[in-house]
Structure 1
Amino acid sequence: MFPPQMQQLMKQVQKIQKKIAQLQEELAERTVEASAGGGMVTAVVNGRQEVVEVRIDPEIFQSGDKEMLEDLIVAAVNEALRRSQEMVQEEMAKITGGLNIPGLFGT
């Protein structure tokens, strides 16, 4: 049998695991977005760090600058991913009390 302190700790861990599972579901529905090129390209990413949408202003095609468009897409996606990671870290800190758990949500 485990000592009472260990049993209490195990219950707390189970409670945190349940909250984390619930948070994972919620984060799949939450999104952040970032733009590049003055809003010419916008990327939307969910809390699972999945790109769910990329919007490109049709005016950018008039320039014919393929490399610029590619750079703007990369910049917008990278910034949206960074914002998504920040959102996840903030939400995880609420559950874990700021305790950094390696490997959890990429933190």
Structure 2
Amino acid sequence: MFDMMKMMGKMKEVQAKVKEAQENLVHIKVTGESGGGMVKATVNGKKEVINLDIDQDLVKPEDKEMLQDLVVAAVNKALQEAEVLAKEELKKSTEGMLPNIPGLDLGGLV
């Protein structure tokens, strides 16, 4: 028989683990590169840009448009990887705590 009290206790435990995982996302650092490494953007697991490194050779007025494109590409690559790592971290934090419910995706909590 379904034990509602046990399930409620488990949900509180899951909520605590999810909160802890979300707080730890700030420690995940991912760097995306573009232009053969000439532009590097580093983001954390909370999808915040924490560093931007631009090769000195790109800092020329005539290369402004190309530089903008490379920065956008580097940031997007870093954000995509950060999202993957954040979802993995969240999944690890709740592993074995929830029953296997088809369609349950905790990725939206990241």
Give TM-score scaled by structure 1 length: 0.86
Map 1:6-45; keep pairs closer than 5 Å: 6-45=4-43
Q: Determine the C-alpha separation between the residues in 2 that align with 1:76 and 1:19.
A: 31
**CA deviation map 1:37-74 (0-9, x unaligned):** 00110001111111111110111124831110000000
Q: What displacement does 1:5 show?
A: 0.7
Is 2:28–2:82's contact at 8 Å kept on the other side of the alignment? Answer: no
RCO (CA 8 Å, sep 6+): is it higher in 1 or 2?
A: 2
Q: What displacement does 1:102 show?
A: 6.2
Identity of aligned residues (%): 41
Aligned residues: 103
Q: Determine the C-alpha separation between the residues in 2 that align with 1:81 and 1:102.
A: 15
1:65/1:102 CA distance change after superposition, 3 Å: closer
Partner of 2:69: 71
Q: Determine the C-alpha separation between the residues in 2 that align with 1:23 and 1:39.
A: 31
Instruction: List gaps (5 residues or longer) in structure 2.
Output: none
Instruction: List gaps (5 residues or longer) in structure 1.
Output: none
Give TM-score scaled by structure 2 length: 0.83
- Tell me the SS of whatever aligns to 1:103: helix
Matched to 1:64, the amino acid is: E
Q: What displacement does 1:91 show?
A: 1.1
